[in-house]
């Protein structure tokens, strides 16, 4: 069995879509291939890879209630390719949005289902994730924390002769537990999705989120964008102003 994971984020690295695709891939058995779908230049290689695939998993961000515009020409090309080649593919979708409610991905899911119907390939369902961006930020931060913990362990070993300093390890494990707790919905639904891929079963449509009340998530999101806007300077360039065309 061969499964192709398509990371449809326009970002070249550290995309949330790529991360969730990789996380799903961990639980999928058989031959696996992960590819980027960013530009028209990627189309040919992706279609070539799909020739002997059984399953394709699209992982993408939600853009303005739908599929990002750069993915649409690929879907249209793939529809023609499917009608010419009758590949018998099974299609799963992972969609990821910046708002907390996973259900906001529903129009994207329907578009992807409609694409499958027109292409004559099997729509097997999808997972919509609310606040997936936060999961991506947390996984980057936890890697940074891991690095810092190792550094602190080394320094304390050199300075005090105590190695390993267990307080640093416990501190890191606490941070890891918080990440796992906030991400437990995403992790559970991803494992379920992978299980359906392995069993060649329909998954249906399911929605999950970062395990935070929405008002807390909104505060985090506002703080995140405020910090980024200070660093990038936008906050001092008419952050909320009703700018007119130049």
Partner 1 sequence: MADVSRIIIHDVDEAFHEQLKTLSGNVVWADGKYAPCQGCFECWTKNPATCSMKDSLHEMCRVAGQADDIVIITANCYGGYSAPVKNILDRSIGTSTPMSTYRAGEMHHTLRYGKKGMIKVIVYGDINDNEKATWELMIERNRINHGYQSKELVFVNSVSDLEVSKL
d(CA 176, CA 174): 5
What separation in angstroms does the CA of 167 have from each of 64, 122, 164?
A: 45, 52, 9
Shortest Å distance, C-beta 162 to partner 1: 43
Shortest Å distance, C-beta 138 to partner 1: 18
Nearer to partner 1, 9 or 208 (CB): 9
Interface with partner 1, residue 243, by CB under 8 A = yes
If phi over 0 gives left and psi between -120 and 50 gives alpha, with beta otherwise, what is residue 207?
beta
- Greatest distance between any 2 Cα atoms in the chain: 70
Q: Which of 27, 99, 168, 192 binds partner 1 (CB under 8 A)?
A: 99
Nearer to partner 1, 97 or 149 (CB): 97
Q: Which of residues 48-77 bind partner 1 (CB under 8 A)?
A: 61, 63-70, 72-73, 75-76
Nearer to partner 1, 199 or 243 (CB): 243
Nearest CA to 74 out of 2, 1, 4, 3 is that of 4
Interface with partner 1, residue 6, by CB under 8 A = no
Interface with partner 1, residue 229, by CB under 8 A = yes
d(CA 14, CA 102): 21
Q: Which of 49, 113, 122, 175 binds partner 1 (CB under 8 A)?
A: 113
Q: Which of 111, 142, 176, 212 binds partner 1 (CB under 8 A)?
A: 111
Q: Which of residues 178-217 bind partner 1 (CB under 8 A)?
A: 214, 217
Q: Which of 104, 136, 149, 208 binds partner 1 (CB under 8 A)?
A: 104
Nearest CA to 124 out of 68, 77, 189, 193 is that of 193
DSSP 62: -
Residues forming a β-bridge with 91: 56, 123
Nearer to partner 1, 161 or 213 (CB): 213
Shortest Å distance, C-beta 191 to partner 1: 26
d(CA 190, CA 94): 9
Evaluated on CA atoms 30, 34, 37, 41, the torsion sign reads: negative
Interface with partner 1, residue 102, by CB under 8 A = no
Q: Give the number of residues in contact with partner 1, rule: CB under 8 A.
A: 51
What separation in angstroms does the CA of 175 have from each of 93, 171, 229, 240?
A: 30, 7, 26, 34
Interface with partner 1, residue 96, by CB under 8 A = no
Q: Which of 10, 156, 171, 187 binds partner 1 (CB under 8 A)?
A: 10
Compute how many other C-beta atoms are within 10 angstroms of the C-beta atom of residue 229: 14
Structure tokens at 95: 């969609």
Binding residues for partner 1, rule: CB under 8 A, are: 9-11, 61, 63-70, 72-73, 75-76, 99-101, 104, 106-107, 110-115, 117-118, 214, 217-218, 221-222, 225, 228-229, 232-234, 237-246
């Amino acid at each position: 069995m061969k499964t192709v994971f398509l990371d449809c984020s326009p970002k070249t690295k550290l995309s949330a879509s790529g991360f969730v695709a990789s996380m799903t891939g961990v639980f999928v058995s058989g031959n696996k291939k992960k590819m980027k779908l960013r530009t028209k230049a990627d189309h040919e290689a992706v279609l070539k890879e799909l020739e002997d695939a059984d399953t394709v998993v699209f992982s993408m961000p939600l853009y303005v209630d739908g599929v990002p515009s750069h993915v649409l020409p690929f879907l249209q090309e793939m529809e023609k390719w499917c009608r010419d080649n009758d590949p018998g593919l099974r299609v799963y979708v992972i969609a990821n949005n910046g708002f907390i409610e996973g259900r906001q991905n529903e129009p994207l899911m329907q578009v992807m289902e409609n694409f499958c119907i027109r292409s004559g390939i099997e729509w097997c369902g999808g997972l919509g994730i609310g606040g997936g961006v936060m999961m991506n930020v947390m996984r980057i931060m936890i890697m940074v924390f891991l690095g810092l913990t190792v550094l602190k362990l080394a320094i304390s070993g050199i300075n005090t002769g105590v190695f390993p300093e267990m307080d640093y390890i416990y501190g890191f494990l606490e941070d890891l537990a918080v990440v796992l707790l906030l991400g437990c919905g995403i992790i559970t639904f991803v494992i379920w999705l992978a299980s359906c891929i392995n069993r060649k079963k329909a998954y249906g449509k399911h929605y999950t989120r970062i395990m935070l009340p929405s008002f807390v998530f909104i505060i985090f999101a506002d703080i995140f964008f405020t910090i980024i806007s200070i660093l990038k300077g936008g906050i001092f360039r008419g952050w909320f102003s009703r700018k007119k065309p130049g």
